[in-house]
A and B are shown apart, each in its own frame.
Chain A
Amino acid sequence: MIKKVLIANRGEIAVRIIRACREMGIETVAVCSEADRNALHAMLADQTICIGPAASAESYLNINRIISATMTSGADAIHPGFGFLSEDARFARICERCNITFIGPTSSMIAASGNKAQAKKTMMDAGVPTIPGSAEAARTVDDGLRLADIATYPVMIKAALGGGGKGMRVARSRDVFTQAFLTAQQEAKNAFGDGSMYIEHYVEHPKHIEVQILADKYGNVVHLGERDCSIQRNHQKLVEETPCEALSEEKRKAICEAAVKAAKAVNYENAGTVEFLLEPSGNFYFMEMNTRIQVEHPITEWVTGIDLIKEQIKIASGEKLGFTQDDIQIKGHSIEVRINAEDAEHKFRPCPGKIELAYLPGGQGVRIDSAVYSGLEIPPFYDSMLAKLSVWAPTREEAIKKAQSALGEVIITGIKTNIDYQYGIITSPEFVSGNTDIDFIDKFSRK
């Protein structure tokens, strides 16, 4: 069993991992940048090592420094959290070579999932439904035009090695394809250093549905139900919930079983998420596999009662899953709202600064995952997420009421946050009706 974990991350996820380790009697090592000396994760861990200057490339993304910190601290495992190095196959590979347990899948699985064209082909071969389009990547406009004809318009152009919405464009017809392709390719080259573009049919007004997977090293794979993450702004999720209202029992079974099939196709191990697009028609298509813990994992924990971080650690330690698919019962409804340090009135620009007062609610069925406290200085160098509020109640109606009530209690002063914006979303009739798709925010913002 793992004895000491180094957490190669910051913010609320680092805190979340430290808490899980503490409950398991595992020692924790935090790493922090010079800008994060007073960050909660740095103060909460048993041991903290400052690994470099504020810039991520010099600290949280610097593999050599993180490996050195692991060696000097005597940690035998690294939890990468999400973002930063969590899906960096090279990092996982170096951990493997240094005999450090990487709490996540193997480096080859990460590499395989990171190349979307390759991943899609694997899924097609495994019989998981995928979006119409070619598995081939386009490097030139001519290639792109040819592939777009196969995929049928409207088409989505996206970077083969991409993520986070960079290097993505929709072209509704052949006339506008060239311009869209070149813009997306330039973005891709800038962001990922590679101009291979993937072109597929653009699914209109879908819901973003993802299925949580747990897989051990012995081929046991279970799903923990789905999450509806349709409420997104620029491909960044804002509000997530589970279960998804739009799925019939039959459809839920189909999509969750497809996710298990997808995980088995790549011999997946540890926690992962299989993302699908669900069309209004009920058709669903595999999008990608996220080979890490997700931001929105607490809502799955609410409805299943399973601690995903602890499961990750147990799987990485070589334990078998302690339950079967039949043991997993989805109960009630859960909603998560992300609270970010950003100015909703000014194009959501990040708003770092000093938090004067942080008052966070509690009570039955209310959970806060956060790394803020009164007096903390939020540095400008990293992601703007401050906290996640998640609630559980037996029904969706009750969960919405609880989320509204709890969010209404959150007070963070000193910096601008998106709390009011989020409150607007979860009190809007469109959200309450459950009739949401990934264009929700577009329509909501226009009102």
Chain B
Amino acid sequence: MELRYLFKKTQSASGGTETPREDQGPQTPQGLFHKCTKCGETIFSEELKRNLFVCPQCGNYFRMYAGTRIDSILDDGSFEEWNSDLQESNPLGTPGYEDKLARLRDKTSLDEAVVTGKGLVNGHPTCIGVMDCRFMMASMGSVVGEKITRMFERATEDKMPVIIFTASGGARMQEGIISLMQMAKTSAAIKKHSDAGLLYVTVLTDPTTGGVTASFAMLGDIILAEPGALIGFAGPRVIEQTIGQKLPEGFQRAEFLRDHGFVDDIVTRTDMKDYLTDILKFHENKGKFKSEKVEKIKLPKSNTKLTPWDKVMISRGKDRPVAEDYIKQLFPDFLEFHGDRAVKDDKAVMGGIATFAGKTVTVIAESKGHDTKENIERNFGMPSPDGYRKALRLMRQAEKFGRPVICFVDTPGAYCGLEAEERGQGEAIARNLYEMSSLKVPVLSVIISEAGSGGALAVAVSDEVWMLENAIYAILSPEGYASILWKDSKRASEAAAEMKLTADDMKDNKIIDKIIAEPENLCENNMEVVVAQLRDGISKFIGDNEGFDGEELAKKRYERYRRY
């Protein structure tokens, strides 16, 4: 006999559970829990809210209400809403449309699918627009288009940046062709805002599709996305039905768009406010030049015994610092931006913005990896056309915002491959030379290791070009030179001497302006002395160019390259 049947149980005065429960008894209030649509876990609502509507179990991003979003981004009490009373129209006379809008207004307490206004992000003023999917899937009708357009017009007038959190099913069917015109109207307003040199940041959230993607969502100077957000023009179901194929996993997700060059960065909800704060800060132009403090540098003695071929080998050495190492040391607040807005994000080129000597600068770097794994990811520092186009995109951005461009050059050469040719490797390099020659901002290029041919020149048409002592700069590799001229690539060391590719040779030929001294066996552990010279030099470069005249710079640059 089991114990459970032998124990005497409680003699309850209440008569057990049959007694009808008093009103104040335990009950689960409505909305106490949320169920995660992805993992199915029941989540305590207060916890979900604290976690910014990200499932604590599986990391799934819940769609956020506009009001909650604004609370999570703007400083308390700083939001001032604009144009919440625009009159809705029913241009095509769609039956039942007005009733539907009225019902939604009641249910959501929103007047339309977007909330616009201005506020402060950690004290930095900005205009902000936030779309809310609860309102007809945040489709763009005339009121949505009008609110966004008015926000841009006012931002242009008041010289303010704009941040928009997008989410939309696309055009609003009920408003037909008038809805389509909102795409043109908003884009035109953004163009005016941009022409005034003002910043526009979009944050793409789940789902951003159709006419919104094909207008204001994709026009940000900086385009961010939330992890896993669905972003596309045509919806996945429509595409599948049209082409009769199953779409691959992750297709049209934020990560897919970043890898294909359309999203600058994917930012988690927890980091979003700080990230936007940095972007706003970097674009406020309030910074005054403040010379970087550099202790007196004790220059290493140069090794005069090295042959040109020795330098070729040193420049290719596996322990030599790569661009990323210099960026970490010189630009600790570097924000990396991805993609060429056309095909892909080429990791052989890194680019982004940072502050230096009190100023915002654009940093672009041809990037090798530290080891084989990283090198495969970075294609051994050989950029594809997409890499050059990313560089050019960021240079144009620098020009728009009037900030100096600092380039690090380190490539054996432009990537030689099928896709590179298909996408126009030659055109991409040519375009960079063409555009860089007249860029209206100061440009500095530093050759840190290998500068191979057109692939290097595509980021080195600059006001000043510097070179590390043991770096090399050449029309092609010594191996290639030997095999073309002497049909024997083994004579590369001989070729190296003949090619005049060392920093000293470059200085003599007035190709470069400055040589940065190196310690013996330069590596991450002893790079401080090189970093110090760069810090000092870049600081002077920025100081000398303070209050630069863009036309003058372009003219001088023209003359510099005219003389060869």
Q: Which A residues contact B (CB, under 8 angstroms)? A: 3-4, 21-22, 25-28, 38, 40, 42-44, 46, 63-64, 67, 70-71, 73-76, 90, 93-94, 97-100, 373
Please name all residues of chain A whose beta carbon is closer than 8 Å to the beta carbon of B301 when the two chains form the complex: none
Which residues of B are found within 8 Å of A71, using beta-carbon distances? 26-28
- Do the beta carbons of A67 and B3 come within 8 Å of each other? no
Q: Who on chain B is nearest to A65 by CB? A: B42
B13–A67 contact, CB under 8 A? no
Contacts of B28 in A (CB 8 A): 67, 71, 98
The answer to whether A22 and B25 touch across the interface, beta carbons within 8 angstroms, is no
Q: By the criterion CB–CB under 8 Å, are A25 and B12 in contact?
A: yes
Instruction: For residue A182, give the distance in angstroms from its CB to the closest CB of chain B.
Output: 21
Q: Are A27 and B26 in contact (CB under 8 A)?
A: no
From B2, B10, B13, B46, A93 is in contact (CB under 8 Å) with B46
Give the docked Cα–Cα distance between A76 and B17 (Å).
11
A351 to B371, CA, bound (A): 48
Q: Which of A27, A43, A97, A373 contacts B10 (CB 8 A)?
A: A27
Most buried by A among B3, B17, B25, B26: B26
Residues of B within 8 A of A98 (CB): 26-29, 32
B3→A373 contact, CB < 8 A: yes
* CB-based closest 9 A-B pairs: A43-B4, A74-B17, A100-B26, A46-B9, A64-B42, A27-B12, A43-B3, A46-B10, A99-B26
A366 to B32, CA, bound (A): 47
Q: How far is it, in angstroms, between the C-alpha of A26 and the C-alpha of B9 when the chains are bound?
A: 11
Could you jot down 11 A-B contacts, CB within 8 Å? Answer: A3-B12, A25-B11, A27-B14, A73-B17, A75-B26, A90-B47, A94-B32, A97-B46, A98-B28, A98-B32, A99-B27
Q: Contacts A43-B7, A94-B44, A373-B3: A76 and B12 contacting too (C-beta < 8 A)?
A: no
> Is B25 in contact with A76, judged by CB distance below 8 angstroms?
yes
Decide: A43 and B2 in contact? CB cutoff 8 A. yes
Q: Which residue of B lies closest to A22 (CB)?
A: B10
Nearest CB of chain B from residue A110's CB, rounded to whole Å: 14
CA distance in complex: A4, B12 (Å): 9
- Are A63 and B7 neighbours in the complex by a CB distance under 8 Å? no
Name the distance in Å between B494's Cβ and chain A's nearest Cβ.
52
Q: Distance in Å from the Cβ of B21 to the closest Cβ of chain A?
A: 7
Task: Please measure, in the bound complex, the distance between the C-alpha atom of A76 and the C-alpha atom of B28, giving whole angstroms.
Answer: 12
B contact residues around A38 at 8 Å (CB): 2
CB distance from B158 to the nearest CB of A (A): 39
Closest partner residue, chain A, to B17 (CB atom) = A74
A99 to B32 CA separation, bound complex (whole angstroms): 12
- Chain B residues near A28 (CB, 8 Å)? 10
Min C-beta distance of B452 to chain A, whole Å = 41
Contact of B26 with A97 in the complex, beta carbons under 8 Å: no
CB contact under 8 A between A25 and B13, given known A90-B44, A98-B29: yes
B248 within 8 A of A: no
Smallest Cβ distance from A73 to chain B, in angstroms? 7
Q: Which chain A residues lie closer than 8 Å to B32 at the CB level? A: 94, 97-98
Select from chain B the residue with minimum beta-carbon distance to A23. B10
Q: Is the CB of B17 within 8 A of A4?
A: yes
B contact residues, range = 20 to 34
Residues of chain B within 8 A of A44, CB atoms compared: 3-4, 7
- Chain B residues, Cβ within 8 Å of A73: 17
Q: Which residues of B contact A (CB under 8 A)?
A: 2-4, 7, 9-14, 16-17, 21, 24-29, 32-33, 42, 44, 46-47
Question: Does A70 lie within 8 Å of B26, measured CB to CB?
Answer: yes
- Nearest-Cβ distance from residue B31 to partner chain A, whole angstroms: 10
In angstroms, Cα B13 to Cα A98, docked, is 25
With a cutoff of 8 Å between Cβ atoms, the chain B residues found around residue A93 in the complex are 44, 46
Give Cα distance in the complex from A3 to B20, angstroms.
13
A90 and B17 CA atoms in complex are apart in Å by: 27
In Å, the complex CA distance between A94 and B28 comes to 9
For B4, list chain A residues within 8 Å (CB). 42-44
Closest chain A residue to B28, Cβ basis: A98
Q: Contact at A99–B25, with CB atoms within 8 Å? A: yes
B51 vs chain A, min Cβ distance (A): 11
Query: Quick check: B13 and A76 within 8 Å, CB to CB?
Result: no
How many Å lie between the Cα of A75 and that of B29 in the bound state? 16
User: In the complex, what residues of A have CB within 8 A of residue B21's CB?
Assistant: 74
- For residue A49, give the distance in angstroms from its CB to the closest CB of chain B: 12
Which residues of B are found within 8 Å of A94, using beta-carbon distances?
Answer: 32, 44
In whole angstroms, what is the CA distance A26 to B14 when docked?
Answer: 9
Output the least CB separation between B40 and chain A (Å).
11
Residues from chain B with Cβ under 8 Å of A100 in the complex: 26
- Measured CB to CB, the closest approach of chain B to A403, in angstroms, equals 28
Q: Report Cα–Cα, A93/B14, bound state, in Å.
A: 28
**A26 near B17: Cβ-Cβ < 8 Å:** no
CA distance A347 to B2 in the complex (A): 35
Output the nearest chain A residue to B12 by Cβ-Cβ distance.
A27
Nearest CB in chain B: distance from A65 CB, A: 10
Q: How far does the alpha carbon of A94 sit from the alpha carbon of B43 in the complex, in Å?
A: 11
How far apart sit A206 and B351, CA to CA, in the bound complex (Å)? Answer: 57
* A63-B47 Cα distance, complex, nearest whole Å: 13
Given A40-B3, A98-B29, A99-B25: A21 touches B44 (CB 8 Å cut-off): no
**Looking across the interface, which residue of chain B has its beta carbon closest to that of A26?**
B10
* Chain A residues positioned under 8 Å from B26 (CB to CB): 70-71, 75-76, 98-100
Enumerate chain A residues within 8 angstroms of B27, measured Cβ to Cβ.
71, 98-99
Question: Which residues on A sit within 8 Å (CB–CB) of B7?
Answer: 43-44
Question: Are B44 and A27 neighbours in the complex by a CB distance under 8 Å?
Answer: no
Apart from A4-B12, A25-B10, A43-B7: 12 A-B pairs, beta carbons within 8 A: A4-B14, A27-B16, A28-B10, A38-B2, A44-B7, A74-B21, A76-B25, A90-B46, A98-B27, A98-B32, A99-B24, A100-B26
Q: How far is the CA of A90 from the CA of B50 in the complex (A)?
A: 12
Q: Which residue of B lies closest to A64 (CB)?
A: B42
Alpha-carbon distance A76/B19, docked complex (angstroms): 13
Residues of B near A26 (CB, < 8 A) are 10, 12
CB-defined contacts of A43 to chain B, threshold 8 Å: 2-4, 7
A21 to B29, CA, bound (A): 28
Chain A residues whose C-beta falls within 8 Å of the C-beta of B14 in the assembled complex = 3-4, 27
The residue in chain B whose Cβ has the minimal distance to the Cβ of A29 is: B17
A3 to B13, CA, bound (A): 9
Q: Is the CB of A97 within 8 A of B11?
A: no
Cα–Cα, bound, A130→B8 (Å): 49
Min CB distance B386 to A, Å, is 38
Once the chains bind, are A97 and B17 in contact (CB under 8 Å)?
A: no
Also in contact, A21 and B10, with CB within 8 A (given A67-B28, A99-B24): yes
Rounded to whole angstroms, the CA-CA distance of A300 and B370 in the bound complex is 64
Q: Which of B21, B24, B28 has the most CB of A within 10 A?
A: B28
CB distance from A42 to the nearest CB of B (A): 8
Which A residue sits closest to B7, measured CB to CB?
A44
Complex Cα distance, B16 from A44, in Å, reads: 16
Closest residue of chain B to A3 (Cβ to Cβ) is B14
- Counting chain B CB atoms within 10 Å of each CB, the highest count among A40, A42, A94, A100 belongs to A94
Which of these, A21, A25, A64, A70, contacts B33 with CB under 8 Å? A64
Residues of A contacting B25 with CB < 8 Å?
Answer: 74, 76, 99
> In the complex, A38→B4 CA distance in Å?
9
Residue of B nearest to A74 (CB): B17
User: Which residues of B are found within 8 Å of A67, using beta-carbon distances?
Assistant: 28
Give the nearest-CB partner of B25 in chain A: A76
Chain A residues with CB under 8 A of B11? 25
Cα A22 to Cα B4 with chains together (Å): 15
- A21: chain B residues at CB < 8 Å are 10
Tell me the nearest residue of chain B to A40, going by C-beta. B3
Q: With a 10 A CB-CB cut-off, give which of A38, A46, A90 has the most chain B CB atoms.
A: A46
Q: Which residue of B lies closest to A44 (CB)?
A: B7
* Nearest CB in chain B: distance from A95 CB, A: 8
Q: Which residue of A lies closest to B16 (CB)?
A: A27
Complexed CA–CA distance, A172 and B234 (Å): 64
Measured between alpha carbons, how far is A97 from B49 in the docked complex, in Å? 15
C-alpha gap A231/B4 in the complex (Å): 37
- Inside 8 A of B16's CB, which chain A residues have their CB? 27
Shortest Cβ gap from B12 to chain A (Å)? 5
Report A-chain residues with C-beta under 8 Å of the C-beta of B46: 90, 93, 97
Cα separation A98 to B24 with both chains bound (whole Å): 10
